[in-house]
Amino acid sequence: MNPHKTTCLYALAIVCLALVLAVSACGQAPPTSTPEVKTATPETGETQVPPEQPTDTLEPAPEPTDTPQPAPPAESSASTMETLTPLAEQVAVSVPPGNPPTIDGTLSAGEWEDAAIELLSDGSELLMMHADGYLYLGIRSTTREGFAANIYVEDNDQVRILHAFAALGTAIYQQGTDSWQQTRVFDWKCRGSSNSEAAVAARAAYLQDERWVAGISLMGTPNELEYQIELTSTPRRIAVSPARSSSPDERVFWPATLDDDCIKPTPGGMPPELHFSPVQWAEIDLSL
**Does the pTM exceed 0.85?**
no
- The third-level CATH classification (topology) of the domain covering 87-260 is Immunoglobulin-like (2.60.40)
3-state secondary structure the chain: CCHHHHHHHHHHHHHHHHHHHHHHHHCCCCCCCCCCCCEECCCCCCEECCCCCCCCCCCCCCCCCCCCCCCCCCCCHHHHCCCCCCCCCCEEEECCECCCCCCCCCCCCCCCCCCEEEECCCCCEEEEEEECCEEEEEEECCCCCCEEEEEEEEECCEEEEEEECCCEEEEEEEECCCCEEEEECCCCECCCCCCCHHHHHHHHHHHHHHCEEECCCCCCCCCEEEEEEECCCCCCEEEEEEEECCCCCCECCECCCCCCHHHCCCCCCCCCEECCCHHHCEEEECCC
Residue 20 contacts residue 26 (beta carbons within 8 Å)? no
How does pLDDT run across 14-35, given as a tens digit for each residue?
A: 755 666 565 555 555 454 444 4
**Span 142-160, pLDDT tens digits:** 999 999 999 999 999 999 9
Burial class of 135 by CB neighbour count within 10 A (0 to 12, 13 to 18, 19+): buried
Mean pLDDT by 10 residues, the chain (288 residues): 55 61 54 46 46 48 52 44 46 94 94 96 97 96 93 96 97 97 97 93 97 95 96 89 90 94 92 96 89
Give the C-alpha separation, 140 to 247, whole Å.
17
Domain boundaries, the chain: 87-260
Task: Please give the pLDDT value at position 233.
Answer: 76
- Please tell me the predicted confidence (pLDDT) of residue 5: 53
